[in-house]
Amino acid sequence: MSASFAAGRSPRPITGRMVLACLLTFFGIILAMNVVLVRVALSSFGGVETESSYKAGLAFKNDVAAAQAQDALHWTVEAGLRKAEGATRVVVTARDAGSQPVQGLVSSARLSHPTDKRRDVVLDLAETAPGRFEGLAAATEGQWDLVIEFSRDGATLFRSRNRVTL
């Protein structure tokens, strides 16, 4: 190294322009990486589970009362999942405290993805027999939350959420 300096080549002097160029380059790279990381984070964010924790806290007393009313019904609700025709067949049965099929219910179900709300799959359940509801879902393999709701006259009577693996 000292041989090249001895040949008459002097080191480049540090000027104000060089310091400014280095600082602008450094902070430009930092800014560009922040923009890239924010874009990736926002595009991969599946959404929040609760839109307003304040409103959810206010509704907590109603949720507790609904859970107590559901327990007082003493219903037995069972769900079965099996692969069929390239989709997943969901079969839900509902029986009352006397083991009789519960009829006249409006049913709804969805396979809710635990980490990405955008992947949720809504199921159309049809009552195929008294107290028996069936539907098909085009969901990929993995872990899901099966959310089942039964209502009558606009009032939700039963709601459950269970983790399932397809």
CA–CA separation, 138 and 86 (whole Å): 8
CB 134 within 8 A of CB 91: yes
The predicted-structure confidence for 81-90, as pLDDT tens digits, reads as follows: 988 778 889 9
Q: Give the pLDDT confidence score for residue 33 in this predicted structure.
A: 98
CB 149 within 8 A of CB 158: yes
The predicted-structure confidence for 59-79, as pLDDT tens digits, reads as follows: 999 999 999 999 999 999 999
pTM above 0.75, yes or no: no
Q: In the structure, what pLDDT confidence band is assigned to residue 5 with cuts at 50, 70 and 90? A: low
- DSSP code of 101? B
Q: For residue 70, what is the enclosing H or E element? A: helix 60-73
CB 53 within 8 A of CB 59: no
User: Could you give the C-alpha distances from 154 to 14, 29, 82, 149, 157, in angstroms and in order?
Assistant: 77, 56, 30, 12, 9
The rounded Cα 3 to chain-centroid distance in angstroms is 65
Q: In the structure, what pLDDT confidence band is assigned to residue 23 with cuts at 50, 70 and 90? A: very high
Q: Give the pLDDT confidence score for residue 94 in this predicted structure.
A: 95
The predicted-structure confidence for 89-108, as pLDDT tens digits, reads as follows: 999 999 999 999 998 899 99
Higher per-residue pLDDT: 4 or 28:
28
Higher per-residue pLDDT: 113 or 23:
23
Which 3 state secondary structure label does DSSP give 111? strand
The predicted-structure confidence for 39-56, as pLDDT tens digits, reads as follows: 998 888 766 667 788 988
CA–CA separation, 120 and 110 (whole Å): 7
